[in-house]
Chain A
Amino acid sequence: MKLDEFRILFLVAGLVLTLIAASPALSLISLPRSGERFSELWLLGPEHKAENYPFNVRNMKQYRIYVGVGNQLGELAYYAVYVKFRNQTQQLPNSKMSEPSPLPPLYEFRFVLSDGKVWEAPLTFTIEGNFSLVQNISINGIVFPVNRISTWDSDRNGFYYQMFFELWLYNMTSKSFQYHDRFVGLWLNMTGS
């Protein structure tokens, strides 16, 4: 090997060792997180799986589901989940306009969640009423008067209601919760009640 080739070898080895020596300081440089930032919202059935969701519900019978939220926003987030109940004619959230349903919430959850973590909570509910009128709905032991009337749905042959969950996120700029454009729903067939 010629001296010039050895020189290059020494230069490369020196550069690699310099980078290793500088690595403690270089590790302080944090690159901005790449990728999409979003939140997840889901419902699971009574066995904590995406199956056997309550559908044909009966008067005064207790049902259990799980509601979950995942934080992929890159930082700690403060969430609220609002539980609402509607008949077929009442409004759902408007996904195109990113607007929540105008219906008032019944039950609610509020929690903070670190980035990359998930939150889950059980929700038991009991419906009090008959196929065409739901008077009360009990959620996790709290009774909410709702008095929702349903009419016969000829397309699906039944009397239907929907329990749905909206995800809201605390906005530090406006100092208030804002609808986070995520909702999930559970159709409930009260025909056989």
Chain B
Amino acid sequence: MISTSKLSVILTVLFLFLLPAFILRVSASSEEMATLAITQAEETVASAYEAVLEAEQARANVSELLDQLNVAGGHLAEAHMLFRLGDFDGAVHFAEISSEIGMDVKNEAEELKIEAYGSWITSLWIRIIGSIVGVIAVVFGTLLAWRVFKRRYFRQV
């Protein structure tokens, strides 16, 4: 039987022996987590940008979304810088905030795009119908005015 003191010595030696490997593994896993979080934030912010661009092209007012998107971009930049400095926990923190904001911006931009597209279609119909009615009225009005004018002209001659 191994005595308690011998067992504790063996366990301590074993622990000290395995500790560097454990620390390296934890560090590697933090780095992997940070890489994953940053990649996800990159994709989210980029897709939010694309959604805002489409909303802007649909003539939606995106000024507030741009402010939010810039906040997300700032956090993403911070995440990148901390990652390069080896602060993986900090990088994960900022990347996650960036992802959250980016996701909100993307959802809002998609809603705004649908709204703006709907009102653009309505305004399109109003303009087209208004123009057609206006052109018909002008053509008939001009012809009528010409006939009245011609009649008066011959009467005077």
Contacts and interface: CB of A to CB of B under 8 A. Distances in A.
Report whether over half of chain B's contact residues are helix, strand or loop; otherwise say mixed: helix
Contact of A18 (B62, B135, B150): B135
B53 interface: yes
B85 A24 contact: no
Given A24-B131, A27-B127, A111 B73 contact: yes
A3 B77 contact: no
Nearest to A13: B142
B92 interface: no
Given A3-B153, A110-B74, A17 B57 contact: no
Given A3-B150, A28-B124, A111-B74, A21 B137 contact: yes
Q: How large is the interface on A (under 10, 10 to 19, 20 to 34, 35 or more residues)?
A: 35 or more
A107 B134 contact: no
Contacts of A76: 49, 52-53, 56, 62, 66
Interface in B107-157: 124, 126-128, 130-132, 134-135, 137-139, 141-142, 145-146, 149-150, 153
A190 B59 CA distance: 51
Most buried by B among A108, A110, A175: A110
B131 A22 contact: yes
B91 interface: no
B153 A14 contact: no
A112 interface: yes
Interface in B64-106: 66, 69-70, 73-74, 76-77, 80-81, 84-85
29 contacts: A10-B146, A10-B149, A13-B142, A14-B138, A14-B142, A17-B138, A17-B142, A21-B137, A22-B135, A24-B126, A24-B127, A24-B128, A24-B130, A24-B131, A25-B127, A25-B131, A25-B132, A26-B131, A28-B127, A78-B49, A80-B77, A111-B70, A111-B73, A112-B73, A114-B56, A142-B81, A144-B85, A170-B49, A172-B50
8 closest A-B pairs by beta carbon, nearest first, are A21-B134, A25-B131, A14-B142, A110-B73, A24-B127, A17-B138, A110-B77, A78-B49
Interface of B: 45-46, 49-50, 52-53, 56-57, 62, 66, 69-70, 73-74, 76-77, 80-81, 84-85, 124, 126-128, 130-132, 134-135, 137-139, 141-142, 145-146, 149-150, 153
